[in-house]
């Protein structure tokens, strides 16, 4: 009886693994990213730029506060014009437009592994800024291996990072722009 159950188990999950190999995990990870994280970052990014097409290229003062913090800005008299180009202004510039671009690349499956690594870095920096500069409280920070799992930083962002690590390791899957470009590139190389 036990060997029959073991055999049935192995056949069922072996078939499931073969059926989903190469396409499901990357596609589903990108779907979960879209459903859970994408709109969060998109809304956050829009708070950093002006309105309309022209406004998209104008970084709001709020971006400086969100990325550099009020403490850092107080050293520049709360005037964005006084913020040095390197590294602070570049941090704001790359942080603002990275918040638009990296999540989009993950969702559409273009340069997915690099974009996912970028998002992991983004999440780590965001968490650091929230803790050190924005003075997140202990409940918001949370802790691992405790009985409560709703903390925004330690619990939630760890799950976000895990999701992105899946994409770094497994890639976007066969249903992605990465795959289309990869096939085009292979055919181009064969043709030369």
Q: Which tens digits make up the pLDDT trace of 57-69?
A: 999 998 998 888 7
Q: pLDDT (tens digit, 9 = 90+) per residue, 106-165?
A: 999 999 999 999 999 999 999 998 998 888 999 999 999 998 888 999 999 999 999 999
Give the predicted TM-score (pTM) of the model.
0.90
Q: DSSP letter at 176?
A: S
Percent of the chain with pLDDT strictly greater than 90: 77
The closest of 192, 188, 127 to 159, measured between CA atoms, is 127
Query: Average pLDDT for residues 31-45, to the nearest whole number?
Result: 97
Is residue 81 scored above 80 in pLDDT? yes
pLDDT of residue 92: 93
CB neighbourhood size of 103 (10 A)? 24
The closest of 152, 100, 95, 102 to 127, measured between CA atoms, is 152
């Amino acid at each position: 009886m036990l060997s029959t159950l073991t055999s049935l188990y192995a056949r069922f999950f072996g078939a499931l693994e073969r059926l989903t190999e190469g396409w499901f995990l990357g596609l589903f990870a990108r779907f979960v990213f879209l459903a859970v994280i994408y709109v969060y970052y998109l809304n956050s990014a829009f708070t950093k730029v002006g309105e309309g097409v022209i406004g998209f290229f104008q970084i709001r003062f709020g971006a400086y506060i969100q990325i550099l913090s009020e403490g850092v800005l107080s050293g520049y008299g709360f005037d964005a014009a006084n913020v040095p180009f390197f590294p602070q202004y570049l941090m704001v510039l790359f942080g603002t437009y990275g918040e638009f671009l990296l999540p989009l690349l993950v969702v559409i499956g273009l340069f997915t592994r690099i974009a996912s690594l970028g998002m992991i870095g983004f999440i780590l920096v965001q968490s650091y800024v929230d803790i050190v500069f924005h003075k997140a409280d202990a409940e918001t920070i949370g802790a691992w291996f405790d009985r409560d799992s709703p903390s925004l930083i330690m619990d939630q962002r760890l799950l976000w990072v895990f999701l992105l690590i899946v994409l770094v390791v497994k890639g976007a899957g066969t249903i992605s722009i990465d795959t289309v470009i990869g096939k085009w590139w292979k055919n181009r190389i064969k043709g030369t």
